[in-house]
Amino acid sequence: MQKNYYSPMLRGMPFYRFAFGVLALLATISAMVILGGCATSQGAGSLANSIGLVNSVSLANSGADSTQSIEAFLESNGFSRIQTNEPIIHYSAESWKASLLNTIAQAKKSVFVLVFLANRNEFNAEIYDALIAKAAEGVPVYFLFDATSYERIFHNPKWNDEIVAPSEVFRGTKVKWAEFNPLRLERIAALPWLLVRDHRKIVMVDGETIYAGGYNLNIYSFAPLDQNGNEDAMVEIQSPDAGRALAPSLAETWNQFSVESLNLEDIAPAVATGAGGSIGATAAASPEASAGSQTASMDSTTSQDTPLACPPNANKGAVNAWLGNQVIGETRSIEALYRAIFDYAQEEVWLVQAFAMPTETIMQMVKQALQRGIQVNIMLSDDQISPAMDKAVHYTVLPLLEAGAHVFIYKSAGNALLHYKLAMMDRKIVALGSPNFNYRSVRLSNEIVFVFDNERTIGVVSQNLSELQKRARPVSIEEAQKWRGFSYFMSYLLSVPGG
């Protein structure tokens, strides 16, 4: 098995790694210029459209309309209205792992996994083993991971060295796997298309049980909090509607990068049983998963456990939700999401974002909300994945504070990254998924997000946010001014293509 791996393009070649970074930066700057820079939220010119970096159509509406609800605005900009059970929100890797293992064991038709970062390690090996076992039973298992999985940023000395890429894990098994947009030296001519990454984190089982959120299937997501793990969230729903909405995109992405074709029927729900399908009839999360997601202690430094998932009986009853599935070149769901959150807010906006590096377009949304008297709160993470990323995120804090936003920095009980991605408006609308609050998620990454407006889900999210606030401190303008030096600026600039 391969250990301490790097990308086939980047492995053991510092010069090429540096050269690729420079080329990626130049390509990003060129793309931003072509697109009219970060200062516009409208469609790009014909040259930008030809390279497929953004959708050729602009947002259906530029902002709030007193005659249109926020739900209608989202639907007019590519969001799918779905019916689902009340979601279970897993705030710990252990809770999600227990539920996922139970769901994989019960799979009858298919398992489709799409993640940004993936590797098998001592903390998540059971999941990879379960996928291999399920494929051996004859149930088709598809595993699609972004090629950036091969690049490791750091290694904690407490980790076991056996950290293995999916391409090695699944070799010789019946699991079908593929890489999204492979990074190879021979593909360097594909810039700027190589900048487009698939940042979605999705597991879909039998077309109806769907997990989506911030958790990857790599060591950072599953390591204990005091060993550079992540604090994060994963949404679990039972929804044939969502399965039907997602299946075409997943099949198309798979077929683009796999030599083995996938038919839509292979992963979509078997039959449509009316509006929303048979919600609640599919398997619920295991009792162990539900219990672990509620009772674990947030203050623990030796486990991922965090409280406040929806109750075990949350699968009873159906609610409306909205699914945003951004595919670069086709949809602009994430820009529409942020515009909806800021433009329709009446009181306050909360964002929990590790990699918040707002562009000029996003800053305009923030400023317009602040000018209307909306309180804008943004929570960042104290422990970043690298010193460079720490500087990049800190560099953008001062403009937010000067505009009137409130910025907080969260410090975990261990040295964990707060990787959770949350947007909440007036405690009436909550969005959970994969997107960051930056240029990459808006323009260069495929992303997924669920939007909920039901009381129970908003209550759970609000309660968890209150717990996070206990470990967060406000940032002053004086402190943020210290983060505007040259090294901070360069870190920010280099992070634009990869942040």
CA dihedral of residues 215, 445, 146, 51 (deg, nearest 10): 170
The DSSP result for 443-496, as a single string, is: IIEEEEEEEE--HHHHHHHHHHHHHHHTTEEEPPHHHHHTT-SHHHHHHHHHHT
233 closest CA partner among 379, 91, 430, 380: 91
- What confidence score (pLDDT) does residue 461 get? 97
What is each CA distance from 326 to 51, 57, 60, 80, 248, in whole angstroms?
17, 14, 15, 11, 13
Question: Quick check: 417 and 392 in contact, CB under 8 A?
Answer: no
DSSP assignment of 226-288: GGT-EE--EEEEE-HHHHHHHHHHHHHHHHHH-SS---GGGTS-S---STT-STTTSPPPPHH
Tokens of 46: 């014909």
Q: How far apart are CA 116 and CA 149, in angstroms?
A: 7
pTM: 0.84
Q: 30: which 2 tokens?
A: 């060129």
How many C-beta atoms surround the C-beta of residue 416 within 10 A? 25
CA distance 341 to 376: 11
Give the residue carrying structure tokens 């602040």. Answer: 370
Q: Report d(CA 224, CA 160) in Å as an integer.
A: 13
DSSP assignment, residue 216? -
At 89 the three-state DSSP class reads: strand
37: left (phi over 0), alpha (psi -120 to 50) or beta: left
**C-alpha 420: how far from chain center:** 8
Tell which residue, 153, 188, 185, 150, has the closest CA to residue 167.
Answer: 150
Query: What is the distance, to the nearest Å, from the Cα of residue 74 to the centroid of all Cα atoms in its chain?
Result: 19
Distance from C-alpha of 316 to C-alpha of 330, rounded to nearest angstrom = 35
CATH of domain 14-495: 3.30.870.10
Q: Which residues contact 423 (CB under 8 A, 6 or more apart)?
A: 337, 338, 341, 349, 350, 351, 430, 431
- The residue behind tokens 């998540």 is 124
Query: Could you report the per-residue pLDDT of 390-399, keeping only the tens digit for each?
Result: 999 999 999 9
Which phi and psi (to 5°) does residue 275 adopt?
-60, 115
What's the pLDDT score for residue 188?
Answer: 75
Q: With contact defined as beta carbons under 8 Å apart, do 80 and 325 qualify?
A: yes
pLDDT at 325: 97
pLDDT at residue 55 in the model: 38
Integer Cα distance of 130 and 128 in angstroms:
5
DSSP-assigned letter for residue 317 = S
List of residues 6+ apart from 39 with CB closer than 8 A? 360, 361
Distances (CA, A) of 105 to 98, 130, 133, 222: 11, 7, 9, 20
pLDDT of res. 276 = 40
State the pLDDT at residue 185.
76
3-state secondary structure 106-156: HCCCCEEEEECCECECCCCHHHHHHHHHHHHCCCCEEEEEEHHHHCCCCCC
Tokens of 202: 């999705």
All residue ranges of the chain with pLDDT < 50 are 1-18, 31, 33-57, 273-292, 294-315
Asked if 262 and 254 touch (Cβ cutoff 8 Å), the reply is yes
Residue 45: strand pairing partners: none
Structure confidence at residue 415 (pLDDT): 82
